Structure 1
């Protein structure tokens, strides 16, 4: 028997919920140190204890409190985001020098922002380091589809075999992380060109914003690198109905091929666990919005709806 839709959602939204099981939630938190910035009363992410122990923290800018299980970036009260970012970059560079973490081998030269209370921009860091700090990351995912007398068909890509994360798994038609100062719509248009060779002019005229999904994921071996890293995410969701004559084509080395699959074929692939976890969640959200997954045909409908929109326990920025 294959995976249920609720099992797929829980596989992505895998960080325990306090309201479901307080003991399990508390026990899970013992595995992490809270990442904080001095002057701000907020947890910005969760750093795995083994990462804290292994990291060569420069003592002039970091305070490690083992009793309170906190890692605090300490900079002057008037520090700018640029200065904080520089300090974090230097710390990451030290970790790279000693080959401390596998995830840092996937260097992207892309910057992910960190926000404080009220959405204040505090700093940014190299993308591949973000799971080590457990910060909230933001992205945009899009499902391209065609519709005819037989119903909907979805353009589904297979990730390249050599990708560091989730190699050879199925993905959403277009997806990507949002870098510092990037807006969701601009991100998905850019990714459409890069990943699927979608003409920018057509994308800008055709893409429809459909909300977002939120979840808090604990990375497993498929993600590449260290296991157990906390990865909370906000994914802005888009749809794009394509003319049958417009066929997505790989535009970079991240996708092997695109296939046009029927709804039933996509459902079967979901049940087999072929989709990258967060992409499975976006597909399920698509099915709900298009009336393919309903309270009448899905016994876990209400649980799925609530788990697709987790209230994250970190400061967030509205884009």
Structure 2
């Protein structure tokens, strides 16, 4: 957590704060605070009421899990929009959907709606979404594929292939909405899905503006221009590397790229 976030957060007597060890800990010893999740909930709700942080104006009413060695089997959660204030790892599912044609591999690329709270109007992975508390990655993927791309459950369950993860440590800028400089470690569960030319994604909610079917060359060109949401760019790079489109022969920074999209995080990342 940046020091300015620690200084601004309305901790009250719900937390134990150790400035020497740079540690903040829920203190659920008082009867009125029933659990760590309740302490976190009341703290961020107060911060929202006080308008302490701009990032909380994008309140989602969704819970993200907080993983830790000391959880002792308990599910501890935080409001999605507040997770970045605590610098905890967040988890998502990302799927690249592609079609093989006579021209080569073609990738379905969506454009985020301009009204999105974060990274509005930028390019995305075909299907992507955050992993809520208690949700398993593949079930999250099935849900997001229906909501964002109108893919049927049967299609996804029969054709989506798990391909590992990407991990990175992101420093948020103005495109993310809210305060800049917030620290956001992320893990993305990565999937590929090949579909035939007769299958086409289409928006099923307000989060996606449109879908484009682009060649690998077009995707690489737009990646260089920085038009993709940052974590989605990493997932696409991972796809291109795994499919032999980006290699040590055609990319001078190949080893650096591979290592940076699989960065070890100094935080608990499992089990979910």
Please confirm whether the aligned pair reaches a TM-score higher than 0.5, indicating the same fold.
yes
1:285 to 209, 222, 238: 238
SS state at 1:170 partner: coil
TM-score by length of 1: 0.81
Equivalent residue, structure 2, for 1:98: 50
Structure 1 distance, partners of 2:136, 2:15, is 31
Counterpart check, 1:54 vs 2:8: yes
Alpha-carbon spacing, 1:318–1:289, altered in 2? closer, same or farther (3 Å): farther
SS state at 2:111 partner: strand
Counterpart check, 1:70 vs 2:23: yes
1:192 to 129, 140, 145: 145
Structure 2 distance, partners of 1:163, 1:52, is 28
Alpha-carbon spacing, 1:121–1:114, altered in 2? closer, same or farther (3 Å): farther
Q: Give the ranges of 4+ consecutive aligned residues of structure 1 lying more than 6 Å apart after TM superposition.
A: none
2:76 to 91, 116, 123: 123
SS state at 1:168 partner: coil
SS state at 2:228 partner: coil
SS state at 2:98 partner: strand
Equivalent residue, structure 2, for 1:237: 190
User: How many residues get paired?
Assistant: 269
**Contact 1:118/1:315 (CA < 8 Å) preserved in 2?**
no
SS state at 1:140 partner: strand
Structure 1 distance, partners of 2:164, 2:271, is 12
**Contact 1:117/1:316 (CA < 8 Å) preserved in 2?**
no
Structure 1 distance, partners of 2:204, 2:162, is 23
For residues 37-61 of structure 1, give each alpha carbon's deviation from its aligned partner in whole angstroms, at most 9, with x where no partner exists: xxxxxxxxxx2211111111122x2
* Equivalent runs, 1:221-300 vs 2, <5 Å: 221-300=174-253
- Unaligned 5+ residue runs, structure 1? 1-46
| Superposition CA RMSD, Å | 1.7
* Equivalent runs, 1:201-240 vs 2, <5 Å: 201-240=154-193
1:109 to 61, 82, 86: 61
**Contact 1:115/1:121 (CA < 8 Å) preserved in 2?**
no
SS state at 1:310 partner: coil
Structure 2 distance, partners of 1:142, 1:151, is 19
For residues 72-104 of structure 1, give each alpha carbon's deviation from its aligned partner in whole angstroms, at most 9, with x where no partner exists: 222249xx9x71101110111111111111111
Equivalent residue, structure 1, for 2:268: 315
TM-score by length of 2: 0.95
**Contact 1:116/1:122 (CA < 8 Å) preserved in 2?**
no
- Unaligned 5+ residue runs, structure 2? none
For residues 217-261 of structure 1, give each alpha carbon's deviation from its aligned partner in whole angstroms, at most 9, with x where no partner exists: 111111100111111011000001111111100111111100001
**Contact 1:114/1:135 (CA < 8 Å) preserved in 2?**
yes
SS state at 2:124 partner: coil
SS state at 2:217 partner: helix
